[in-house]
Structure 1
Amino acid sequence: MVQAYILIQTEVGKAAAVAGEIKDFQGVLSAEDVTGPYDVIVRAEADNVDQLGKMVVAKIQNVEGITRTLTCPVVHL
């Protein structure tokens, strides 16, 4: 199992709607709108890195209002 934080920038005023839509996606553990350089932070999991990438590219990046994403896989050192 691979987990990651996905940092999302949105169009002005779209953070709550984006977080609300993404939180219901399969594999999404949480989706919160935040302040700072990013507007939404998502915690997600998938069986492997390829499935995580497919989730980000095919699902999350297609949500209306998203302008940029940054995926940060969790590592266990």
Structure 2
Amino acid sequence: MDKAFVLINCEPGKEPSILKQLREMKNVVDVQGTYGVYDIVARIESDDKSQLENIISDQIRKLDDVNSTLTLIPTESEDVKSDLREIEPDVIPEQKKPLEEQSSEKEDNDLDDEPEEDYDDED
């Protein structure tokens, strides 16, 4: 089964009608409105890669009020199962500690605040 994620930019305020149209399409498995650079993300699946391309170019991109799309095709093979919910962060936010100021940096900064003296070598 081939799948793709299609990120969609659309005219402001037209998201609800585009979401409705996408949900009615046969091979659109999931669709979600988003905040950020893209307004909508749709996941589509098909048994045939050429059919997947046709869905994107002939159906989704030709919807009224769709300005642009970006298609992401996963690189994993079918025998590798992926569940994004299983991804855990490397650092748990509650365990983060503030950076401590290094003493050498503090000393260097203190030296910068002192006025410079002029030395005259003509004694």
TM-score, normalised on structure 1? 0.92
Give the drift of 1:51.
1.0
Contact (CA 8 Å) 1:20, 1:31: kept in 2 or not? Answer: no
Moved over 3 A (4+): none
Please give the per-residue CA displacement for 1:17-37, whole angstroms capped at 9, x wherever unaligned.
Answer: 111111110110011111100
Residues 55-66 of structure 1 aligned to structure 2 (within 5 Å): 55-66=55-66
Structure with greater strand share of residues: 1
* 1:16 CA drift (Å): 1.6
Matched, 1:70 2:70: yes
When Rg is computed on C-alpha atoms for both structures, the one with the higher figure is 2
For 1:9, give the aligned amino acid.
Answer: N
Match of 2:18 in 1: 18
Q: Which segments of 5 or more consecutive residues in structure 1 lack a partner in the other structure?
A: none
Report the Cα distance in structure 1 between the residues aligned to 2:74 and 2:61, rounded to whole angstroms: 20
What's 1:33 paired with?
33
Structure 1 SS opposite 2:21: helix
* Aligned residues of 1:2 and 1:48 also touching (Cα < 8 A): yes
- Tell me by how many angstroms 1:48 deviates: 2.5
| Structure 1 Cα separation of the partners of residues 24 and 75 of structure 2 | 25
**Larger relative contact order, structure 1 or 2 (CA cutoff 8 Å, min sep 6):** 1
Aligned residues: 77
Superposed CA deviations along residues 22-64 of structure 1, whole A, max 9, x for unmatched, are: 1110110011111100000001001122111100111111111
Using structure 2 for the length normalisation, give the TM-score: 0.59
